[in-house]
């Protein structure tokens, strides 16, 4: 495992591979009902680093537990108790890449906090209607992974209904670019819907 940790440090930088100290914020669900033990918490800064981390872990046969704001209620974002899994924390990937006012779309990183996204839309004169109790700490990647509904789900739909496209790192560490602003795209399989709510 030392070789894997060295590889991860080379990819994201040593300060962003956490192995010592209190990792409770990443190893325990926010309701404190379950707690695991991580081999490391790795915090990549961009998609290329995520892909490299996934490739390194796949080559080492090490399981990855992706984690956004760790606010989910299903205990799906914490490691098991084995101490062999890597928590892939996406909180550093918090950028708003762009707002397209003409197309009424915005592109954001998976670790973007929902409230930050809402505020950016508001400042541009728009509404991003997804609203949850945890909106000050949950991330859009987690919202998409759980297909969150929120308080306005009846009017605006689940998170899936608010998403036009995705950029995804596969289990092999390859990047699938499905980012699109098209509202009607009937070409091929709808991989977006396969991934949202996964």
Q: Could you tell me what percent of the chain has a pLDDT over 70?
A: 100
CATH topology for 96-195 is 3.30.465
DSSP letter for 124, please: T
**Residue owning tokens 């704001």:** 69
CA angle (130, 136, 137) in 5-degree steps: 105
For the chain, the structural domain boundaries read 2-89, 96-195
Residues 6+ apart with CB under 8 A from 52: 11, 44, 173
Q: What is the mean pLDDT of residues 156-160?
A: 94
**Residue owning tokens 């101490």:** 83
Residues 6+ apart with CB under 8 A from 135: 113, 114, 115, 118
Judge if pTM exceeds 0.85: yes
Question: From CA 136, how far away is CA 56, in angstroms rounded?
Answer: 32
Q: Which CATH architecture has domain 2-89?
A: 2-Layer Sandwich (3.30)
**Better pLDDT: 72 or 90:** 90
Helix ranges (H only) for the chain are 2-12, 24-27, 47-60, 114-123, 140-146, 153-156, 191-195
pLDDT band at 154 (very low <50, low <70, confident <90, very high): very high
Q: In this predicted structure, what is the pLDDT of residue 103?
A: 94
Question: From CA 141, how far away is CA 138, in angstroms rounded?
Answer: 9
């Amino acid at each position: 495992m030392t070789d894997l940790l060295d590889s991860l440090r080379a990819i994201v930088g040593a300060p962003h591979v956490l192995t010592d100290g209190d990792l409770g914020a990443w190893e325990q669900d926010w309701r404190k009902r379950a707690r695991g033990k991580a081999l490391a918490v790795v915090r990549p800064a961009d998609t290329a680093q995520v892909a490299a981390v996934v490739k390194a872990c796949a080559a080492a046969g090490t399981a990855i537990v992706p984690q956004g704001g760790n606010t989910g209620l299903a205990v799906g974002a914490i490691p098991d108790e084995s101490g062999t899994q890597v928590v892939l924390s996406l909180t550093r990937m918090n950028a708003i890449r762009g707002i397209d006012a003409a197309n009424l779309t915005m592109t954001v990183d998976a670790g973007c906090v929902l409230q930050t996204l809402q505020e950016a839309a508001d400042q541009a004169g728009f509404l991003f209607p997804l609203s949850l109790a945890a909106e000050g700490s949950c991330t859009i990647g987690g919202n998409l992974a759980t297909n969150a509904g929120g308080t306005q789900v009846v009017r605006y739909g689940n998170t899936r209904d608010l998403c036009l496209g995705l950029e995804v790192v596969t289990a092999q560490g390859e990047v699938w670019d499905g980012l699109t602003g098209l509202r009607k795209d009937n070409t091929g399989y709808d991989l977006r819907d396969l991934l949202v709510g996964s």
